[in-house]
Chain A
Amino acid sequence: MKTKGPKPSAEIGVEKLTDMYSQMVTIRLFEERVVELYRRAQIPGIAHVSIGQEAVPVGICNALRTNDYITSTHRGHAHCLAKGADITQMFAELFGKVTGYCRGKGGSMHIANPATGNLGANAIVGGSIPIATGAALSAKLRKTNQVAVCFFGDGALNQGVLLESMNFASIWRLPVIYVCENNQYGEYTPTKRVTAGDIEMRGKALDIRTAVADGMDVLAVYDAACEAVDHAKSGKGPSFLVMETYRFIGHGMSDVDRAYRTREEEQEWQRARDPIDRLRTTLIEEWRLKQSALDAISSGVAKQIDISVEAAQKAPLPAAEELMKHVYAD
């Protein structure tokens, strides 16, 4: 269903646009700092960053209210941040500190935060899809007018539980938005090589409203999200949004040579389609913002990240008595 009249993005003022720019910059600098800290062995375990994909979480989450739900993935820092997570608590969790979102028990792949409607990142590909669908069912039954957004990658397209969940959402007209971030590779394998047919047909086949958007354009993402949110909140049910995007670096920290794709392809996406550059150009050319004002946003974010990293580093690790806490709820 197309919205009549101007697109929602046409009604965003410069303040909100600048805020979206700032959010994307925050995610980019956060992720770059994660890579750096990981390489200095400050972050234990594994971490997956989404540098290059910032437009999707920011475009989607700006169409949501705080109490709307999201579920995220193993590559989930950006979703958490876009939904309103605090940078210091994020870093604390990545460091395994007790002041982190999960008291150091979840780490990079499991950040959850009830206060911002974040039902949790999930390290099983496709694992959160029925959870988001169940949250949408719950919202519908409790008549709260909330929506649930389920972020997942192209890799999850081939998990059976996606079909099960989308079928539930369609037959029961649930207020859930399935956001497929197609970054062109499932880990180290090109999506096209392992994914049959047109991706959008998977939504259409289940009678789910389906749209494809340029996931490198935050305003296109925002428009698609607003339409899906309206659709859900007016009781018409689920949407399936396919976002074409690209991760600029490897799958995980150990994916350094990226033999499965060419450097030319990477450079093409980075040079021509970087979502932050794109919004920056819009802000300068259409809204007459000064370069210096946008640079000031970046340096402000960088300073905030310095402060957050330092605070998180100083925070205590969980004490041994934390080990057996929270296995069961009281």
Chain B
Amino acid sequence: MSMQTNGREITMSEAINEAIREEMGRDENVVLWGEDVGAAGGVFKVTKGILDRFGPERVFDTPISEAGIVGLAVGAAMTGLRPVVEVMFGDFLTLAMDQLVNQAAKIHYMSGGTFRVPMVVRTTLGAGRRTAAQHSQSLHAWVAHIPGLKVVLPSSPYDAKGLLKTAIRDNNPVVFFEDKISYQRKGPVPDPDQDYTISFGQADVKREGSDLTIIATSSMVHMALTAASKLSEDGIQAEVIDPRTLVPLDSQTLIDSVKKTSRCIVVDQGYQSFGVTAEIAALVAEQAFYALDVPVRRLGAVDVPIPFSPSLEDLTIPTVESIVVLAHEMVAG
């Protein structure tokens, strides 16, 4: 399924930058705005050089006005543009929630299908940068809860590029979550002249295994893959699956895997209560209950405001060790 990559490796940040450039080159209605995305190239340098390439008619630095950033995108999307806007930190989505939840998500439905809202909100998730409670949350479950929004969580440069291109071409509002800690992670990506996209709603089996299924999202995929390598040394073959999009969710691939392995751990960086791990665990319980040898288990963020001190923050999100310990327990179970 993957394209030939010719050994070229780029970072997640570069992959996202390429996706935006290619789509802006392909469709003049794609425009970009957000706080510091132009001249500065974004606080994480993800949009570096795009202003120079496409000019101030299509790339704008905005005031610090998240509701306005997202709300203007809704109006622009309804009238012929395809805005790609950045909300600098996922924590700031709270400021734009009315525009996302009550406006963008509902306009197509409320208007009886007459208006479409093709827009992408790029934002971040993830802890681990010592930035405390208002710059470290993973709030993707908030938007995944709302019908009308699509929610994407890439884990690799290859996936990020292909999924973002799909997001920009999609005729619906898409919230695209990038794990800050992954921006400098490198991976194979095809040359820029090879146009590829990744369809939404197609989970990717990142590693095959027969003893245990680990369903992991975003950077937790890498935790799961490292855990799977360690488990393999102990004779446990874990299958690692990345849903890649929460909405739409490829439940079939997840369920098929659990039916094969009989054990399932769900790992996600959002809060464990009422979140992504709960939803996927419920799905597994409903659709693969009789295949399970042991109850499905979850690893999410601890239900606490993310603390500043490294000694405390490191206790809040799932780790390779926590996955390994749980896997052993379940296989022994």
- Residues of B contacting A167 with CB < 8 Å? 63, 65, 68
For B68, the closest partner residue in chain A by CB is A164
Q: Is the CB of B74 within 8 A of A130?
A: yes
Interface size class of B (residues with CB under 8 A): 35 or more
- Is B166 positioned at the interface, with any CB of A under 8 Å from its CB? no
A329–B110 touching, CB < 8 Å: no
With known contacts A134-B76, A139-B79, A327–B112 Cβ distance under 8 A = no
| B115 within 8 A of partner (CB) | yes
Cα distance A101–B98 when bound, in Å? 23
Judge whether A102 and B80 touch: CB under 8 Å. no
Q: Mark A98-114, 1 if CB is under 8 A from B, else 0.
A: 00111111100010111
Which residue of chain A has the shortest Cβ distance to B116 in the bound complex? A329
Question: Which A103-159 residues sit within 8 Å CB-CB of chain B?
Answer: 103-106, 110, 112-114, 119-120, 122, 124, 127-139, 141-142, 148
A249 at the interface (CB under 8 A from B): no
Assess the B68–A106 pair: CB atoms within 8 A.
no
Q: A119-B78, A127-B103, A141-B31 are in contact. Are A161 and B111 (CB under 8 A)?
A: no
A165 touching B110 in the complex, CB below 8 Å, given contacts A69-B79, A139-B79, A141-B31: no
Of all A-B residue pairs in the complex, the 7 with the closest CB atoms, nearest first, are A130-B71, A134-B75, A103-B112, A164-B68, A134-B72, A102-B112, A131-B75
Tell me if A6 counts as interface (CB < 8 A to partner B). no
Residue A268 lies at the interface, judged by CB distance under 8 Å to chain B: no
Query: Known: A119-B79, A129-B71, A134-B74. Is A161-B98 also a contact (CB below 8 A)?
Result: yes
Residues 23 to 75 of chain B near chain A (Cβ within 8 Å): 31, 57-58, 60, 62-63, 65, 67-68, 70-75
On chain B, the residues within 8 Å of A137 by CB distance are 72, 75-76
The chain A residue sitting closest to B31, CB to CB, is A141
- Inter-chain CA distance A105–B111, complex, in Å, is 7
A sample of 29 cross-chain residue pairs with beta-carbon separation below 8 angstroms, ordered by A number, consists of A69-B79, A71-B75, A101-B114, A103-B112, A104-B112, A105-B110, A106-B110, A106-B111, A110-B111, A112-B110, A112-B111, A112-B114, A113-B114, A120-B115, A131-B74, A132-B75, A134-B75, A135-B78, A138-B75, A141-B57, A141-B76, A148-B75, A161-B67, A161-B68, A164-B68, A164-B71, A167-B63, A329-B116, A329-B117
Does A325 sit at the interface, judged by CB under 8 A?
yes
Contact A142 B110 (CB under 8 A): no
Q: Which of B57, B62, B108 contacts A329 (CB 8 A)?
A: B108
Contact indicator A326/B65 (Cβ below 8 Å):
no
Is A13 engaged at the interface, CB distance under 8 Å to the other chain? no
Asked whether A327 lies within 8 Å of B148 as measured between CB atoms, the reply is yes
B143-179 interface (Cβ within 8 A of A): 147-148, 150, 171-172
Asked if B184 is an interface residue, CB under 8 A from chain A, the answer is no
Count residues on chain A whose CB falls below 8 Å from chain B CBs.
47
Most chain A Cβ neighbours within 10 Å, of B63, B74, B79, B117: B79
Question: Which chain A residues lie closer than 8 Å to B114 at the CB level?
Answer: 101-102, 112-114
CA distance A165 to B111 in the complex (A): 23
Beta-carbon nearest neighbor of A146 in chain B: B79
Interface check A197, CB cutoff 8 A: no
Docked Cα-Cα span, A326 to B172, in Å, equals 11
Inside 8 A of A148's CB, which chain B residues have their CB? 75
Other A-B contacts than A101-B111, A131-B103, A137-B72, 8 sampled, CB-CB below 8 A, are A120-B110, A128-B103, A135-B78, A135-B79, A138-B81, A142-B80, A160-B67, A328-B108
Which residue in chain B gives the minimum CB-CB distance to A130? B71
Also in contact, A127 and B111, with CB within 8 A (given A134-B76, A161-B68, A161-B71)? no
